[in-house]
Amino acid sequence: MKGIILKDLYDNFCILKNAASYVFAIIFLGLIGFLVHTKYHYVLFLGIIAPILGGAAVESSTEQDEAANFNKLQITFPVTKTEIVIAKYILGLGFVGASNLLALVYSLVQVYGYHVVTPPEALRITGFGISISLIFLSVIYVGYFLLGKRWGTIFFVFIAALTGGLYGAYSYLFGLETFLECSPFVIFGCIFAGIIILTLSCLASIKIYTRRYS
């Protein structure tokens, strides 16, 4: 499993075009995130942009696996198909953790530097961001395992656009205060739901992968 994770890390950061896309994304998001100081953009960054970054690991690894026909070689390794899938989910969780650390730095700047939101509000939005990250990761990974790189990427873009559109519509119709004043029990419930959905996603991906390469 460790070898699979290292291989996927290589695909993401040691291939020039993939590494460049991450560098560009971080610079662009950093400029936008730290120069724009509104509650709307704060929630957008933690609730939409950070989760999308967290789900990005699977795109590069799937592309390289398909280009090199690596999946057929990979199943001959001394690991089970279940371990192969779990390894990819572990890396995905690592990306989610890294994106939420970036979101934490952003939060500290917005809370204590620009006073865009209060610390309690920031904690609520962080909780929502974590739950959305887990759910987004769950949906995207099943999409890639089921559809492959080409259609999986289209599915990724569609889900990302849908998530952003739903956020914009919700903000317009109901306002951000419903996010910022939400009960902690609701937030913990969302995180728990995200964990359950991620578990079901992993099980579904194992079944899809096993059936495809049996």
Give 98-140 pLDDT, tens digit per residue.
888 888 888 888 888 888 888 988 888 899 989 999 999 999 9
- pLDDT, mean of residues 177-193: 86
**Cα pseudo-dihedral 85, 214, 69, 56, rounded to 10:** -20
The band of 42, judged by pLDDT with boundaries at 50, 70 and 90, is: confident
Closest CA to 74 of 63, 85, 60, 59: 85
Prediction pTM value? 0.90
Residue type, 75: I
- Whether the pLDDT of residue 15 is over 70: the answer is yes
| pLDDT value of position 16 | 80
Q: Phi/psi of residue 80, each to 5°? A: -85, 165
Confidence of residue 93 (pLDDT cuts 50, 70, 90): very high
DSSP state of 4: H
**Greater pLDDT, 28 or 23:** 23
Q: What is residue 145's predicted lDDT score, i.e. its pLDDT? A: 93
| pLDDT score recorded for residue 8 | 86
Q: What angle do CA 147, 149, 153 make, to 5 degrees?
A: 90
Q: Do the beta carbons of residue 176 and residue 40 sit within 8 Å? A: yes
Find out whether 109 and 27 touch, Cβ atoms under 8 Å.
no
What was the pLDDT predicted at 102? 84
At residue 94 the predicted structure's pLDDT band, cuts being 50, 70 and 90, is: very high
Is the CB of residue 100 less than 8 Å from the CB of residue 129? Answer: yes
pLDDT of residue 194: 95
Question: For residues 155 and 139, what is the distance between their CA atoms, to the nearest angstrom?
Answer: 9
Q: What is the pLDDT of residue 33?
A: 64
- Residue 61 corresponds to which tokens in the numbers above? 């690894």
Closest to 5 measured CA to CA, from 43, 61, 53, 50? 61
Overall average pLDDT of the 154-167 stretch:
90
Report how far Cα 206 is from the mean position of its chain's Cα atoms.
19
Find out whether 83 and 120 touch, Cβ atoms under 8 Å.
no
pLDDT band at 144 (very low <50, low <70, confident <90, very high): very high
**% of the chain with per-residue pLDDT over 90:** 30
Q: Are 18 and 60 in contact (CB under 8 A)?
A: yes
